[in-house]
Structure 1
Amino acid sequence: MSAVTERALAPRAAAPTRRGPSGERAVAVGSHTVLGIWSLLVLLPFAWTLVSSFKTTREIFASPFSLPQEWRFENYVNAWRTAGIGSYFLNSVVVVVCALALTMVMGAMSAYVLARFSFRGRTVLRYLVVAGLTFPVFLAVVPLFFILRQVGVLNTLPGLILSYATYAYPFTVFFLMSFFEELPGEVAEAASIDGASEWRTFFQVMLPMAGPGLAAVAILNFVGLWNQYLLPVVLNSDRDNYVLTQGLGAFASSSGYDVDFGALFAGAVMTILPVLVVYLVFQRRLQGAVAAGGLK
């Protein structure tokens, strides 16, 4: 057989497949365009609020989109002291931190039991948790009002803490159940063989393993509780116990047409900053939880 024939009969190497660069480029450009537009929709109002917090009321109405002629840092002092934002801020921190700690502990324990143990009524309880997510909060404020009044904690910070924790409880349980279900059962069995009780196994072994899920749900709960407005308006009419969202609303409406909009925007910035700080500090935890959930 000649060399020409051998070359003709020899198997040809598969030609390298080429990916369509135009399709990938179109997807990349489209996704970046959508993300860019969304970023502008989020950043521009915040930047406008931040710049307006250093203006006078006259400057805000005369030239709302220009830089201030003089950066008035005293707007933040007026908002903190005169408008009472300082005391409202402290109340919000106390209520949100205590409610977050309570709902994370109780929610994690409930999610662990519903995910790892088999008992009669387990399926019904899981459905009740899902039903709690679909129940609108405005339908629960009237029963909550009468319950808190009967218990004696209406118009108090402990009453708000209990209401906030109850509000965030279904989401916490629903979110954490999937994390506890995917944890390896061999670890819990090994801890049990070593003599660890169920409480010790949960707090020292299983709970740290669900760290990414705990961090993610804590961040989401913090944002939701910090921005909560309906519950404190209905359940807390004592001005000394106002939270930050209530205080800003009362400050905007109490002055009638003579509102210090510079101080009002300064108060709005002080309301937004804690949420941004919490997200920037724990964003890696949140991304890790999302990645872990995608792998599961």
Structure 2
Amino acid sequence: MTATELLDQRPDSSTAPPYRPGHARRADRIVSFINGGFLLVWGLITTLPLVWAMLSAFKTNAQFRVDPMGLPDGLAWDNFARAWDEANIGQYFVNSVIVVTMSLAMTMVFSAMLAYALARYTFIGSKVLYYVFLAGLMFPVFLALVPLFFVVRDTGNWPVIGEFMGLNSHVSLALVYTAFSMPFTVFFLTAFFRTLPDTVAEAGIMDGCSHFSLFWRVMLPMAKPGLVSLALFNFLGHWNQYILPVVIMTEDDKRVLAQGLAFLTTSTGFRADWTALFAGLVIALLPVLIVYIAFQKKVQSGLTAGLLK
């Protein structure tokens, strides 16, 4: 076949749609603009109320009633003093720090050990145990409030451990936090541990590591990005928890910060001491901001590592 005949058999280019790369780039720019605009609006909706609350915390009550949306004329630090002392926010803050420290440590240690065993070892009932924890993600906490009250109350009557368990016990509340946080943590850590290379574990075993030391010295440091991300999420959940403390903590000096803020909202509403309420909100918000700013890069690296794997 000659070259002329080959050219004659080519498909008619007039029927094919023209290639216009400029249209594709324009569509990408439109999509990027829409995404950026949505994120900007979402950021403003999230940030502006926080900025307004922080500015209101430095106003006097007279300034807040006259111009609630304006800037403060000065820095009214006595608002924080009233919230810390008179509203007992200081005691609630210390109680929250104690409970969250215990619950976060137990949640991460117990969940990491269990997730590692489920991800790296096969034993009888391992799948059943995994799905039991997975089912815990679908269990609403409101269904457990009444039986939880009686269970925690009865633990106070147990010998030996009853001295530091039961209602109005920080240990009991920390254990409850841990129980409700473990399904979420175990589910994600199990998937993370499964992505770790088997060659590293095999090399550790050949070097003489026991299974216990292999977990603590080799595999757990490799899972640090995922652990940091989940620790931050659990910290936020424990710090802002309100329903569970209401059921367990009934004494005023044992309440946590979320309960204290709810009480402060009611009391300041009758006294019209709104600036003290905003000061209490800022006190509750500061630990969250500090923790997030301190671990922001590690959280982003952990999420990125999990996405790529």
TM-score normalized by the length of structure 2? 0.88
Q: 1:252, 1:259 within 8 Å by CA — same for their partners in 2? A: no
**Is 2:285 the partner of 1:272?**
yes
In 1, distance between residues paired with 2:71 and 2:206? Answer: 67
**Is 2:246 the partner of 1:233?**
yes
Query: Which deviations, in whole Å up to 9, do the C-alpha atoms of 1:214-245 show, x marking residues without a partner?
Result: 00000000011100000001111011111111
- 1:41-80 matches, cutoff 5 A: 41-80=45-84
Tell me the SS of whatever aligns to 2:295.
Answer: helix
Query: Which deviations, in whole Å up to 9, do the C-alpha atoms of 1:231-287 show, x marking residues without a partner?
Result: 001111011111111111122224561142111100001111111111111111111
Query: Which deviations, in whole Å up to 9, do the C-alpha atoms of 1:113-166 show, x marking residues without a partner?
Result: 111111121111111111101111111122211111111121111111111111
Query: Which deviations, in whole Å up to 9, do the C-alpha atoms of 1:19-52 show, x marking residues without a partner?
Result: 5321121012111100100110011100110111
Segments of 4+ moved more than 6 angstroms: none
In 1, distance between residues paired with 2:150 and 2:35? Answer: 49
Which shows bigger deviation, 286-295 or 172-181? 286-295
Q: 2:107, 2:182 within 8 Å by CA — same for their partners in 1? A: yes
Write the letter of the residue equivalent to 1:272: L
Q: 1:57, 1:260 within 8 Å by CA — same for their partners in 2? A: yes
Pick from 25, 31, 37: which aligns with 1:27?
A: 31
Structure 1 partner of 2:8? none
Query: Which deviations, in whole Å up to 9, do the C-alpha atoms of 1:51-95 show, x marking residues without a partner?
Result: 111123333233211122332111111111111111111111111
Write the letter of the residue equivalent to 1:151: T
Query: Which deviations, in whole Å up to 9, do the C-alpha atoms of 1:186-230 show, x marking residues without a partner?
Result: 211221122211110000000000010000000000011100000
Structure 2 partner of 1:109? 113
Structure 1 partner of 2:270? 257
In 2, distance between residues paired with 1:48 and 1:91? Answer: 27
Structure 2 gap segments, 5+ residues each: 1-18, 157-165
Structure 2 partner of 1:204? 217
- 1:160-239 matches, cutoff 5 A: 160-239=173-252
Tell me the SS of whatever aligns to 2:293.
Answer: helix
Structure 1 gap segments, 5+ residues each: 1-15
TM-score normalized by the length of structure 1? 0.91
Quote the RMSD (CA, aligned, Å): 1.7
Q: 1:156, 1:238 within 8 Å by CA — same for their partners in 2? A: no
Write the letter of the residue equivalent to 2:48: L
**Is 2:140 the partner of 1:136?**
yes
